[in-house]
Chain A
Amino acid sequence: DTAVSQTPKYLVTQMGNDKSIKCEQNLGHDTMYWYKQDSKKFLKIMFSYNNKELIINETVPNRFSPKSPDKAHLNLHINSLELGDSAVYFCASSQEGGIRAFFGQGTRLTVV
Chain B
Amino acid sequence: GENVEQHPSTLSVQEGDSAVIKCTYSDSASNYFPWYKQELGKGPQLIIDIRSNVGEKKDQRIAVTLNKTAKHFSLHITETQPEDSAVYFCAASIKGAQKLVFGQGTRLTINP
Where the two chains meet, the residues of A that have a C-beta atom closer than 8 Å to any C-beta of B are 4, 31, 33, 40-45, 48, 50, 55-56, 58, 90, 92, 96-106
**Interface flags, B32-43, vs A, CB<8A=1, else 0:** 101010100111
A90 to B38, CA, bound (A): 12
For the side of the interface on B, what is the size category? 20 to 34
A90 to B36, CA, bound (A): 14
Contact B42 A31 (CB under 8 A): no
Where the two chains meet, the residues of B that have a C-beta atom closer than 8 Å to any C-beta of A are 32, 34, 36, 38, 41-46, 49, 87, 89, 91, 93-102, 104-105
> Which residues of B lie under 8 Å from residue A101 when comparing CB positions?
34, 46, 100
Contact B98 A31 (CB under 8 A): yes
Contact A90 B44 (CB under 8 A): yes
Given A48-B98, A98-B99; 7 other pairs, CB 8 A cutoff: A31-B98, A41-B38, A96-B96, A98-B97, A99-B32, A105-B41, A105-B42
Contact A100 B99 (CB under 8 A): no
Point out which of B44, B95, B105 has the most chain A C-beta atoms below 10 A from its C-beta. B44
